[in-house]
Structure 1
Amino acid sequence: MRTTSGEASVRLCHLDGGPEGGGVTTIFYGSLWEAMEIAAQQTEDVQDGLFIATDNDVIAYIDLLEG
């Protein structure tokens, strides 16, 4: 993720891997710090489908934790 500031505006979304390709649900718009806190409160199953998008990048929430 190129944007590293905790105050950076991000979109936290969930990608549902349904049988028809699923859909994207936006959970939160706001700062990276807040998005990370909200994501941490989700179940593991939901966390597996979470992505954080900035104006120049998209990364899986799980990849941020492992990085």
Structure 2
Amino acid sequence: MRTTHDEVSVRLYHLSDGPEGGAAETLLYGPLHRALEIAAAQPQDVQEGLFIATDNDVVAYLDLIGD
């Protein structure tokens, strides 16, 4: 993910079938810091399908936090 700040607007979403595809459920449109809070509160199996999208990048939540 490109350099950003904790107030940048992002979309936090969950792909039901992981990175290979499936239905995308948006959990939040809002600031990055709030998306990270919500993502951290999810069960591990849900975290595996979470993605954060900015205007120009998409990154898997677990890759972002280095897990």
Q: Under a length normalisation based on structure 1, what TM-score does the superposition of the two structures give?
A: 0.90
The aligned length equals 65
Aligned positions of 1:25-64 closer than 5 A: 25-64=25-64
The answer for unaligned runs of 5 or more in structure 1 is none
> SS of 2:52's equivalent?
strand
> SS of 2:55's equivalent?
coil
How far does the alpha carbon of each residue in 1:18-64 deviate from its partner, in whole angstroms, 9 at most, with x for none?
8xx42100000100000000000000000000000000000000001
> SS of 2:4's equivalent?
coil
Percent of pairs with identical residues: 63
4+ runs of 1 displaced by more than 2 Å? Answer: none
For 1:32 and 1:7, how far apart are their aligned partners in 2? 6
The answer for unaligned runs of 5 or more in structure 2 is none
Checking the alignment, whether the CA contact within 8 Å between 1:3 and 1:54 is kept in structure 2 is no
For 1:41 and 1:47, how far apart are their aligned partners in 2? 9
> SS of 1:14's equivalent?
strand
In the TM superposition, residue 4 of structure 1 has moved relative to its aligned partner by 1.6
Note the aligned Cα RMSD (angstroms).
1.6
For 1:33 and 1:60, how far apart are their aligned partners in 2? 15
Q: Under a length normalisation based on structure 2, what TM-score does the superposition of the two structures give?
A: 0.90
